[in-house]
Amino acid sequence: MRMNRLARALAAVITAAFIALPPPGLAQQTAPSPSPAGPTPGPGALSVPFADPYPSTYTPYPSRPTLIRNATLLTAAGPAIHNGSILLQDGKIAAVGADVAAPAGAVVIDGRGKFVTPGIVDVHSHMGDYPAPAMQAHSDGNEATNPNTANVWAEHSVWPQDPQFPRALAGGVTTVQILPGSANLIGGRSAILKVVPARTVQDMKFPGARYGLKMACGENPKRVYQNRGPSTRMGNMAGYRAAWIAAEAYKRKWDAWNATHKGDPPQRDLTLETLAEALRGDIYVHMHCYRADEMAQVIDMSHEFGYKVRDFHHAIEAYKIADLLAKEGIAATMWADWGGFKMESLDSVRANIGLVDAAGARATIHSDDPQGIQHLNQEVAKAMFAARRVGLNVTEDTAVKWMTINPAYALGLDDKIGSLEAGKNADVVLWDGDPFSVYSHAEKVFVDGAQLYDRDDPAQTWRTDFELGYVKAAVRK
């Protein structure tokens, strides 16, 4: 009896031991061990908000402390200062007022009878991606291969040796937004540049400036894609919406992965990446649009997808929805008197800029033209007098904002440029007379305090590599 109990106990122990053992080979498969790490994604595989793979390499040119005194200062920040002074030092505006003392060693310029304004800002230019001389080999501004080319970046077409850049500087222009063209519903990213001599486009890029996204309404995409894409305005709208839907899904995938970095990252897509950045608000949407009804529809679409339109360009009929633009905080970038050159520009009025301004919206002048950019001060003058003719009391203090602080706002740079205020970048123009006179010229132009143009000194004329054989006459008539 005792042996039977002992045998049964021993058998139970042995059986339990065998039950606890895994089948042959299973222990090796399930035993905990660190799994080998997978390949680490390279930086080019990642879609990161605010990514900056082609960063600015801009370095300000050497400057000296400079005091301009006895001039009329159109500050774009308040009333004009008559017989005022402005001090440029260490690349910044150091002081503005009725009487500013010159530090030791400063260059002192007598501005008696002259005017000072902030540097002009043009938010719609194609210099560099449609450089001079105009020919097919230089036609790099429109990637007219797909209605949605959000994947292209204007900076990759910009030729820094475009001889149009120094001519814009001579017209008082210190900052430009270079855009892709308007063939496409979504044309690609813009480049925000300082108008300075440079070897590469990165040497011109405005440090810290956000990219813009160029989009286009109306006739241009209809015409270009009538046989292979949207051929109607409703087709245009459907194309935008489809793109935003895809971008929203892409954004969610990448936002989730960037929060955890678990598993393989999603597949990167340059087209959707730019649109996702616009949805995040990291890229500003600039929309080429003529008609008021289309601008209103685009605003509705921005509400549908949760992004913000920063600026409508051309905006021939902006005066019809000026109150809506003011309510939405959207700038309108317009010409002084272009209109009637195609059906969607037919209902133009010369007081457009003044009417938009009077409604409380941010009115802005632009060129869209390499010659017009040399005379934006005169374009503002035309718009100012057109507004006065319809009974609007537009002063020079208001009009100067149309070419300085308002376009700076459209670029998100109004905290750095666009007005004569202490602490801002010393982008400044000294005019030899009232800048709204057809007889006045930019006499001296400063970028970050460095004098880069002097009308009275031919030796300071910026010549691009393309122009090295051109010799300017020493005497100006």
pLDDT score, position 231: 96
pLDDT score, position 420: 98
pLDDT score, position 118: 99
pLDDT score, position 461: 85
Closest CA to 146 of 332, 327, 7, 270: 270
pLDDT score, position 294: 98
- Residues 6 or more apart whose CB falls under 8 angstroms from that of 288 comprise 182, 214, 215, 216, 217, 218, 220, 312, 313, 314
pTM, 2 dp: 0.90
Sign of the alpha-carbon torsion through 382, 84, 451, 456:
positive
pLDDT score, position 24: 34
pLDDT score, position 30: 37
- What are the beta bridge partners of residue 110? 69
How far is it, in rounded angstroms, from Cα 93 to Cα 110?
17
pLDDT score, position 467: 82
Q: How many residues are given for the chain?
A: 477
How far is it, in rounded angstroms, from Cα 344 to Cα 314?
11
In terms of Cβ atoms closer than 10 Å to its own Cβ (0-12, 13-18, 19+), residue 225 is: buried
Range list of H helices, 366-404: 376-389, 396-399
Closest CA to 122 of 453, 421, 358, 411: 411
What is the enclosing helix (H) or strand (E) of 93?
A: strand 92-97
How far is it, in rounded angstroms, from Cα 74 to Cα 440?
15
pLDDT score, position 473: 52
HSE (CB half, 13 Å, CA atoms) of 308? 15
pLDDT score, position 468: 73
Residue 85, φ and ψ in degrees, nearest 5: -130, 150
How far is it, in rounded angstroms, from Cα 24 to Cα 284?
63
Alpha-carbon 377 to chain mean position: 21
pLDDT score, position 465: 85
Q: What is the dihedral of CA 264, 267, 273, 275, to 10 degrees?
A: -120
- What are the beta bridge partners of residue 221? none
What parts of the chain have a pLDDT lower than 50? Answer: 1-36, 474-477
- How is 289-311 classified by DSSP, letter by letter? E--HHHHHHHHHHHHHHT--EEE
Alpha-carbon 165 to chain mean position: 17
